[in-house]
A and B are shown apart, each in its own frame.
Chain A
């Protein structure tokens, strides 16, 4: 069976410090990978998605970046955190088979709560 792991689960960082959140998927290959942010009282904002190693699409301009060094590893980073970066970060994956029926179901990790002080 497939599993997705995110860490750390909770993070408190000062403004201006760096960030690294890691996400790993097991039990599947060539997944599409996603990073979402959920700010308090707001919905899910798609930050990045990746359809393959080294392929990153950014949905919103920000001081965050993403990398996919391995097929099942997705990393969210920042060189200098802002107060507005606080939120709940969710990694997700789905499979996409061209030419076949795909439901588009996303499988989410448990989330990483980031507080920037």
Chain B
């Protein structure tokens, strides 16, 4: 099975909050990331969290990490149509070559 799992689709109404979930299997993961991919473009890092943190907030983005359950989530407050994109969860391990393992990506569709 995959090391990083995400649901493939999420649909929300503009102005609502979006929550994208991710589970990972490697308990030695040190860094966990959220990347955003807009149509036809490369990925851009949205935010990352160290494994010794439980939460990180950055404007409309809130990342929650549950190490016990190996669960990572990304909450986008006041979701806008411009937030429509594919969101990738990724993990990497400190001490290696820092090659992250990516999930399949969650397509977020925001309806007006």
Contacts and interface: CB of A to CB of B under 8 A. Distances in A.
Interface of A: 32, 34, 41-44, 46, 49, 51, 90, 92, 94, 96, 102-111, 113
Query: Chain B CB within 10 Å — which of A46, A92, A103, A109 has the most?
Result: A103
A105 B97 contact: no
A42 B104 contact: yes
Contacts, number: 55
B103 A34 contact: no
Interface in B79-112: 88, 92, 94, 97-100, 102-105
Contact of A43 (B33, B40, B92, B105): B105
Interface in B1-60: 2, 8, 31, 33, 35, 40-45, 48
A46 B44 contact: no
Contacts of B48: 103-105
Given A103-B48, A104-B92, A111 B104 contact: no
Given A96-B97, A96-B98, A104-B31, A43 B104 contact: yes
A109 B42 contact: yes
Q: Which 6 A-B pairs have the closest CB atoms?
A: A108-B42, A43-B104, A104-B98, A44-B102, A104-B92, A108-B43
Contact of B103 (A41, A43, A51): A43
B43 A43 contact: no
A70 B39 CA distance: 31
Contacts of B98: 32, 94, 96, 102, 104
Contacts of A110: 41-42
15 contacts: A43-B103, A44-B43, A49-B97, A49-B99, A51-B97, A96-B98, A104-B31, A104-B33, A104-B98, A107-B45, A109-B42, A111-B40, A111-B41, A111-B42, A113-B40
